[in-house]
Amino acid sequence: MRHVTNVPLRWADMDAYGHVNNMVYLRYLQEARVDMLFVHAHRQGAEGLAGGTVVARHAIDYLAPLTYRQRPLRVETWVRDIRNSTFTLGYELVDVEDGGERQVYAVATTTLVPYDLGSGRPRRVAPTERAVLDGYRDLDGPVPSSDGDAARTDHRAASVAVDPGNAKPFSYPCMVRFDDLDSYGHVNNVRFIEYLQEARIDFAHRYLFDALEAHEGSVVAGLSVDYLAPVPFRTEPLDVRVWVTRIGGSSFDLGYDVRDADTVYARASTTLVAYDVRARRSRTLVPEERAALEGFMADGDGVE
């Protein structure tokens, strides 16, 4: 059985292209997840899931642009996998027409870890929680191509687990804002995606935009991120490093880590598709753009 949450769109969710920003999709997933685990699962006897769960991994593929409208977006959530101390949710963000036809905007997965807030440590999935989660199982649901379980050879999934090697990463100092914190006192998982976006846009402004016409840009087609350590509030900025892991004919992949001198807090990867805003379709990477990207790649590996 899938859990259904109707999530309203906000005017502020739109990006410069007039579409829902890629980061905001993760907020919609969070709203659906909270509704499923903190409200409905709690009512069924799984109070511990509302008491403490932390996100270990996100993966999402963006399949179609979503523009502003007054009716809500349907987010379907189900359980893909339950293990001793983790469980994985699947999602589809869809519109369903009266005849049953589905417009799918994104598919995603989230791996969650039950967490004991008192001890500050992960814990096992309790039997009562497992019984409630079993009621939401859908093993046949779609998964994003960036999900490691579904596509272990996918370049985006692989790039999350590695460092930039001898690539020259771009470094972006990112401040932690007080309102970035969630109810656990840590930076919320969605905020990490915003940090990646800030670093990526700064990178593009410095190295890519001069090679492009005003109507040329790029859109995020897929994202995967592993959360490795919590970030409490801090006054020193985080270092978000960005490097290139693949360059194709009309797309490229970026790797990231979020860190300070002592700790790596998250590793991530995005696939970006070169986009013509005026024509509303993908475009070929221009030579100057490709040359700038190659400057942040290790030994030219991954160039197609």
Q: What is the pLDDT of residues 44-65, one digit of tens each?
A: 988 888 878 999 999 999 999 9
Contacts 24+ apart (CB under 8 A), 134-137: 134/79, 134/82, 135/1, 135/44, 136/1, 136/2, 136/3, 136/36, 136/77, 136/78, 136/79, 137/1, 137/78, 137/79, 137/80
pLDDT level of residue 150 (50, 70, 90 thresholds)? very low
Coil, strand or helix at 51: helix
Predicted pLDDT of residue 299: 67
Report the CATH number at residue 296: 3.10.129.10
Q: What is the mean pLDDT of residues 108-120?
A: 91
Contact (CB, 8 A) for 168 and 245: no
> What interhelical angle do 189-207 and 22-34 show, nearest 10?
180
- pLDDT tens readout for residues 258-271: 999 999 999 999 99
Predicted pLDDT of residue 48: 85
Domains: count for the chain: 2
Predicted pLDDT of residue 112: 97
Contact (CB, 8 A) for 171 and 240: yes
The verdict on 123 and 160 lying in the same domain is no
User: Is residue 303 scored above 90 in pLDDT?
Assistant: no
Measured CA to CA, the distance from residue 22 to residue 25 in angstroms comes to 6
- pLDDT tens readout for residues 202-230: 999 999 999 899 899 999 999 999 999 99
The verdict on 44 and 126 lying in the same domain is yes
The verdict on 173 and 105 lying in the same domain is no
Q: For residue 177, what are the domain limits?
A: 153-304
Q: What is the mean pLDDT of residues 19-32?
A: 97
Predicted pLDDT of residue 147: 66
Contact (CB, 8 A) for 15 and 88: no
The verdict on 141 and 165 lying in the same domain is no
Measured CA to CA, the distance from residue 167 to residue 235 in angstroms comes to 29
Question: In the chain, what's the furthest Cα-to-Cα distance?
Answer: 58
Q: Comparing 127-136, 187-196, 233-242, 292-301, which segment has the lowest mean pLDDT?
A: 292-301
Predicted pLDDT of residue 162: 59
Which of 146, 176, 195 finishes a domain? 146
The verdict on 127 and 178 lying in the same domain is no
Calculate the alpha carbon distances from 223 to 45, 125, 199, 235 in Å.
Answer: 33, 27, 15, 28
Predicted pLDDT of residue 157: 44
Predicted pLDDT of residue 251: 97
Nearest Cα neighbor of 47 from 118, 135, 132, 111 is 132
The first and second tokens of residue 116, run together, are 């004991």
Which of 105, 121, 146 finishes a domain? 146
Q: Express as a percent the part of the chain with pLDDT over 90.
A: 76
Q: What is the mean pLDDT of residues 259-284?
A: 96
pTM over 0.75: yes
User: Is residue 151 scored above 70 in pLDDT?
Assistant: no
User: Is residue 158 scored above 70 in pLDDT?
Assistant: no
pLDDT level of residue 160 (50, 70, 90 thresholds)? low
Contact (CB, 8 A) for 97 and 35: no
Nearest Cα neighbor of 155 from 283, 303, 299 is 303
User: Is residue 154 scored above 80 in pLDDT?
Assistant: no
Predicted pLDDT of residue 242: 97
The verdict on 72 and 21 lying in the same domain is yes
The full length of the chain comes to 304
DSSP bridge partners of 274: 218
Which of 113, 146, 179 finishes a domain? 146
The verdict on 38 and 111 lying in the same domain is yes
The verdict on 100 and 211 lying in the same domain is no
For 276-289, give one letter per residue: b (16+ CB within 10 A) or e: ebeeeeebebeeeb
Predicted pLDDT of residue 300: 55
Predicted pLDDT of residue 290: 96
- pLDDT tens readout for residues 81-98: 999 999 999 999 999 988
Task: Kindly report the average pLDDT of the chain as a whole number.
Answer: 91
The verdict on 163 and 139 lying in the same domain is no
The verdict on 99 and 122 lying in the same domain is yes
The verdict on 169 and 51 lying in the same domain is no
The verdict on 164 and 76 lying in the same domain is no
Measured CA to CA, the distance from residue 201 to residue 301 in angstroms comes to 23
Measured CA to CA, the distance from residue 153 to residue 209 in angstroms comes to 32
Q: What is the mean pLDDT of residues 108-119?
A: 91
